[in-house]
Structure 1
Amino acid sequence: MCEREGGSRLEKHQCTSYLESTRAAAQYPPLVIMKADVKEEPEPCCSKLKMFLASLSFVYFAKAFQGSYMKSSITQIERRFDIPSSLIGVIDGSFEMGNLLVIAFVSYFGAKLHRPRLIGIGCLFMAVGSLITALPHFFQGPYKYETIVSQPQDVNTTDIIQPCMANQSKVLENEEILAKSMAECEKESSSSMWIYVFLGNMLRGIGETPVMPLGVSYLDDFAREENTAFYLACTQTVGILGPMFGFLLGSYCAKLYVDIGFVDLDTVSINHKDSRWVGAWWLGFLVTGAVVLLAGIPFWFLPKSLQKQGEQKSQPADDPPNEQDQFIPESSVPPERPRPVTFTELAKDFLPSLKRLFSNSVYLLIVCTSLVQVNGFIGMITFKPKFMEQVYGQSPSKAVFLIGIMNLPAVALGVITGGFVMKRFKLGVLGAARMSISASFLAFLALLMQYFLQCENAQVAGLTVTYEGVKEVSYQQDSLLSQCNMGCSCPLKHWDPVCSSNGITFVSPCLAGCQTSSGAGKSMVFHNCTCVETWPVPAANASVILGQCPRPSDCDYMFRFYMAVSVIGSFISACGATPGYIVLLRSIDADLKSLALGMMTLVVRTLGGIPPPIYFGALIDRTCLKWGSKRCGGQGACRLYDSSAFRVTFLGLIYGLYSMSYVLWGILYSRLVKRHKKITLRNQAKTGGQEVATMNNGNTLSEENHKSEKEQEKECSI
Structure 2
Amino acid sequence: MLASLTTSQIAASKIRHMMTFLGLVTGLYFLTNVLWGFLYVKIIKRQKKLALRKQAKDNALEGNTQNNGRTNISISTNKEEENKEKHRGGRQTQSQKMEESSQDVSQMTSQQVLCDPTERRSRKRLSTLKMFIIALSFAYFSKALTGTYMKSSITQIERRFDLSSTRVGLIDGSFEMGNLLFLAVVSHFGAQLHRPRLIAAGCLLMAVGALLTGLTHFFMGFYKYDTVIQVLQNSNVSIPACVNPLKTVDMPEIQIEPSVEDSKGCERESSSHMWIYVFLGNALRGIGETPVTPLGISYIDDFAKEENSPFYIACLQTITLLGPMFGFLLGSYCAKLYVDIGYVDMESVTITPKDSRWVGAWWLGFLVSSSLLLVSSIPFWFLPRSLPKQGDETDKPTPPSLILDGAESAQSSNQTIKLTEIAKGFLPSLKRLLGTPAYFLLLCAAILKFNSFIGLLTFKAKYMEQQFGQSASRANFLIGVLNLPAVALGIFLGGLLMRRYKLSVVSGAQFSFATSFMGYLLLLLQFGTKCDNRPVAGLTVSYNGTQSVSYNGEMLFSDCNRDCSCSPDEWDPVCSDSGITYVSPCMASCLNSSGHGKNTVFHNCSCVSTSYPPGSSMSVRLGQCPHAKDCSRSFTSYMAVSVLSSFINSLGATPGYMVIIRCITPDLKSLALGIQTLVTRTLGGIPAPVYFGALIDSTCLKWSIKKCGGRGACRIYDSNMYSGTSYFFMIAVIVLLKRQFWKSDRETELQQPRASKESGIMVQLDIQEKSSAGNTSPKPSSDKTDSTGVEKDLEG
| TM-score relative to the length of structure 2 | 0.69
The residue that corresponds to 2:277 in the other structure is: 196
SS at match of 1:432: helix
Identity %: 57
Residue 180 (structure 2) pairs with residue 88 (structure 1): no
The residue that corresponds to 1:352 in the other structure is: 425
The residue that corresponds to 2:323 in the other structure is: 242
The residue that corresponds to 2:259 in the other structure is: 174
1:271 aligned residue (342, 352, 366): 352
Deviations 1:176-206 (A, max 9, x none): 635635xxx22x3411000000001111111
Q: Is the 8 A contact 2:566 2:586 kept in 1?
A: yes
Deviations 1:637-672 (A, max 9, x none): 00000000000103543674699699999x9xxxxx
Change (3 A) 1:173 1:557: closer
Supply the distance in 1 between the matched residues of 2:207 and 2:672 (Cα, whole angstroms). Answer: 27
The residue that corresponds to 1:507 in the other structure is: 583
Supply the distance in 2 between the matched residues of 1:549 and 1:86 (Cα, whole angstroms). Answer: 28
Q: Is the 8 A contact 1:107 1:594 kept in 2?
A: no
Residue 491 (structure 2) pairs with residue 415 (structure 1): yes
Residue 138 (structure 2) pairs with residue 58 (structure 1): yes
The residue that corresponds to 1:472 in the other structure is: 548
Q: What letter corresponds to residue 140 of structure 1 in structure 2?
A: M
Shift in Å, 1:85: 0.8
Shift in Å, 1:489: 1.3
The residue that corresponds to 1:213 in the other structure is: 294
Residue 697 (structure 2) pairs with residue 612 (structure 1): no
1:254 aligned residue (332, 335, 354): 335
1:291 aligned residue (372, 380, 383): 372
Q: Is the 8 A contact 2:451 2:684 kept in 1?
A: yes
Deviations 1:476-514 (A, max 9, x none): 021111111121111111110001112111000011111
Q: Is the 8 A contact 1:237 1:413 kept in 2?
A: no
Shift in Å, 1:151: 1.9
Q: Is the 8 A contact 1:376 1:654 kept in 2?
A: no
Residue 183 (structure 2) pairs with residue 98 (structure 1): no
Supply the distance in 2 between the matched residues of 1:609 and 1:244 (Cα, whole angstroms). Answer: 20
Supply the distance in 2 between the matched residues of 1:342 and 1:396 (Cα, whole angstroms). Answer: 59
Q: Is the 8 A contact 1:444 1:658 kept in 2?
A: no
Residue 238 (structure 2) pairs with residue 153 (structure 1): no
Shift in Å, 1:247: 0.8
Change (3 A) 1:122 1:429: farther
Supply the distance in 2 between the matched residues of 1:584 and 1:214 (Cα, whole angstroms). Answer: 22
Residue 644 (structure 2) pairs with residue 568 (structure 1): yes
Supply the distance in 2 between the matched residues of 1:475 and 1:574 (Cα, whole angstroms). Answer: 41
Which range is displaced more, 73-82 or 574-583? 574-583
Deviations 1:267-298 (A, max 9, x none): 11111111011111111111111112222334
Shift in Å, 1:425: 3.3
Q: Is the 8 A contact 1:75 1:386 kept in 2?
A: yes
SS at match of 1:143: coil
SS at match of 1:531: helix
The residue that corresponds to 2:529 in the other structure is: 453
The residue that corresponds to 1:627 in the other structure is: 703
Q: Is the 8 A contact 1:415 1:575 kept in 2?
A: yes
Q: Is the 8 A contact 1:481 1:511 kept in 2?
A: yes
Shift in Å, 1:90: 0.8
Shift in Å, 1:415: 1.7
Change (3 A) 1:597 1:618: same
The residue that corresponds to 1:553 in the other structure is: 629
SS at match of 1:66: helix
Shift in Å, 1:534: 1.9
Supply the distance in 2 between the matched residues of 1:567 and 1:161 (Cα, whole angstroms). Answer: 47
Supply the distance in 2 between the matched residues of 1:96 and 1:345 (Cα, whole angstroms). Answer: 31
SS at match of 2:621: strand
SS at match of 1:142: coil
Q: What letter corresponds to residue 235 of structure 2 in structure 1?
A: T
Shift in Å, 1:358: 4.8
Change (3 A) 1:618 1:171: farther
Q: Is the 8 A contact 1:502 1:538 kept in 2?
A: no
Change (3 A) 1:365 1:234: farther
Change (3 A) 1:126 1:381: same
Asked which structure has the greater RCO (Cα within 8 Å, sep 6+), the reply is 1
Change (3 A) 1:566 1:225: farther
Supply the distance in 1 between the matched residues of 2:470 and 2:508 (Cα, whole angstroms). Answer: 38
Q: Is the 8 A contact 2:578 2:612 kept in 1?
A: no
The residue that corresponds to 1:691 in the other structure is: none
Q: Is the 8 A contact 1:107 1:598 kept in 2?
A: no
Change (3 A) 1:370 1:249: same
Shift in Å, 1:160: 0.9
The residue that corresponds to 2:560 in the other structure is: 484
Change (3 A) 1:363 1:105: farther
Change (3 A) 1:619 1:107: same
Change (3 A) 1:661 1:142: farther
SS at match of 1:359: helix
Change (3 A) 1:342 1:51: farther
Deviations 1:513-553 (A, max 9, x none): 11100111111110011111221467951111100011011
SS at match of 2:527: helix
Q: What letter corresponds to residue 168 of structure 2 in structure 1?
A: I
The residue that corresponds to 1:321 in the other structure is: none
Residue 514 (structure 2) pairs with residue 438 (structure 1): yes
Q: What letter corresponds to residue 488 of structure 2 in structure 1?
A: A
Change (3 A) 1:585 1:178: farther
Which range is displaced more, 608-617 or 648-657? 648-657
Deviations 1:349-375 (A, max 9, x none): 366346424521254444332112111
Change (3 A) 1:274 1:176: closer
The residue that corresponds to 1:541 in the other structure is: 617
Change (3 A) 1:296 1:583: farther
1:69-148 aligned within 5 A: 69-147=149-227
Residue 480 (structure 2) pairs with residue 401 (structure 1): no
The residue that corresponds to 1:383 in the other structure is: 459
Supply the distance in 2 between the matched residues of 1:655 and 1:49 (Cα, whole angstroms). Answer: 51
Shift in Å, 1:413: 1.4
| TM-score relative to the length of structure 1 | 0.76
Shift in Å, 1:58: 2.7
Q: Is the 8 A contact 2:125 2:387 kept in 1?
A: no
Supply the distance in 2 between the matched residues of 1:269 and 1:191 (Cα, whole angstroms). Answer: 24
Deviations 1:298-325 (A, max 9, x none): 444445556666x5569xxxxxxxxxxx
1:279-318 aligned within 5 A: 279-304=360-385
Supply the distance in 2 between the matched residues of 1:395 and 1:337 (Cα, whole angstroms). Answer: 57
SS at match of 2:226: coil
1:671-682 aligned within 5 A: none
Change (3 A) 1:224 1:447: farther
Supply the distance in 2 between the matched residues of 1:52 and 1:593 (Cα, whole angstroms). Answer: 26
Shift in Å, 1:402: 0.9
Supply the distance in 2 between the matched residues of 1:46 and 1:167 (Cα, whole angstroms). Answer: 82
Q: What letter corresponds to residue 180 of structure 1 in structure 2?
A: G
SS at match of 1:526: strand
Unaligned runs of 5+ in 1: 1-42, 315-335, 668-718
Change (3 A) 1:629 1:441: same
Q: Supply the RMSD in Å over aligned alpha carbons.
A: 3.4
Q: What letter corresponds to residue 212 of structure 1 in structure 2?
A: T
Q: What letter corresponds to residue 401 of structure 1 in structure 2?
A: F
Q: Is the 8 A contact 2:467 2:719 kept in 1?
A: yes
